[in-house]
């Protein structure tokens, strides 16, 4: 009676497949992503390289992307699976950036609708945005208040914590 998810959720799966193919063919620098299990296109694993000339440089940060059934009408959620100290990443690893928020719900009550999710975004754009977020935190809408404070008041300490996390992700 119940078909597999793949045939049930057509647009979402077909679009995710298209994006996956594109990511394989023309992989952008510093990011890679793909489904964890090819039977379930709604859970992806991705790797993001720390941007150069930031304390994140040299690190490779694993994260999971979870897509809703109505992707691309609704945004996926992104969660780092490694320890990451950043003003816009919650302590549990969930990434808080405006393009991952659906228009309408505004947790911080100040993002304008034009910065929110729209189907024009894609996995690639999300990952690139997250990369630039790593390089340039936005402390106005902090997700991790401790990281915000350290980033604002004690940049050397911030760099130190981030670098020690980078070493941890590399298993050093």
SS in 3 state form for 44-89?
Answer: EEEEEECCCCCCCCCCEEEEEEECCCCCCCCCCEEEECCCCCCCCE
Restricted to residues 78-117, the positions that interact with another protein (CB under 8 A) are 88, 97-99, 102-104, 108, 111, 113-116
Cα 62 to Cα 3, 22, 25, 65, 170, distances in angstroms: 32, 20, 21, 10, 11
Site size toward another protein (CB under 8 A) is 54
- Considering only 26, 39, 105, 136, the residue that binds another protein (CB under 8 A) is 136
Residue 96 a catalytic site member: yes
For 17, the token pair is 């497949």
Do the strands 77-80 and 31-37 form a parallel or antiparallel pair, or are they unpaired? unpaired
Q: How far is the CB of 60 from another protein (least distance, A)?
A: 19
The span of 30-38, 45-53, 76-84, 160-168 binding another protein (CB under 8 A) equals 45-53
Candidate list 83, 121, 149, 160; residue touching another protein; CB under 8 A: 121
| Of residues 9 and 144, the one with the C-beta less far from another protein | 9
Q: Are the beta carbons of 31 and 48 closer than 8 angstroms? A: yes
Helix or strand (DSSP H, E) at 17: helix 10-25
Which of 33, 41, 42, 166 is close enough to bind another protein by CB under 8 A? Answer: 42
Q: Backbone phi, then psi, for 109, in 5-degree steps?
A: 60, 30
Catalytic residue among 46, 82, 96, 148: 96
For residue 159, give every residue at least 6 positions away whose Cβ sits within 8 Å of its Cβ, in sequence order, or none.
55
Beta carbon nearer to another protein, 98 or 144: 98
135 is an interface residue for another protein by CB under 8 A: yes
Contact set with another protein (CB under 8 A):
1-5, 7-11, 14-15, 18-19, 28, 42, 51-54, 68-70, 72-74, 88, 97-99, 102-104, 108, 111, 113-116, 118-122, 125, 128-129, 132-133, 135-136, 138, 140-141
């Amino acid at each position: 009676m119940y078909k597999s998810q793949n045939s049930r959720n057509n647009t979402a799966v077909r679009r995710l497949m298209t994006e996956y193919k594109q990511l394989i063919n023309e992989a952008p620098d510093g990011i890679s992503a793909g489904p964890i299990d090819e039977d379930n296109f709604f859970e992806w694993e991705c790797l993001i390289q720390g941007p150069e000339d930031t304390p994140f440089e040299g690190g490779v940060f694993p994260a999971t992307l979870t897509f809703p059934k109505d992707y691309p009408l609704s945004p996926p959620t992104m969660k780092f699976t490694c320890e990451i100290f950043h003003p816009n990443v919650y302590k549990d690893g969930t990434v808080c950036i405006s393009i991952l928020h659906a228009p309408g719900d505004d947790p911080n009550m100040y993002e304008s609708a034009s910065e929110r999710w729209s189907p024009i975004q894609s996995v690639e754009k999300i990952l690139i945005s997250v990369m630039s977020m790593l390089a340039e935190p936005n402390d106005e809408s902090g997700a991790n208040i401790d990281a915000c404070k350290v980033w604002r008041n004690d940049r050397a300490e911030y760099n130190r914590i981030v670098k020690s996390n980078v070493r941890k992700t590399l298993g050093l």
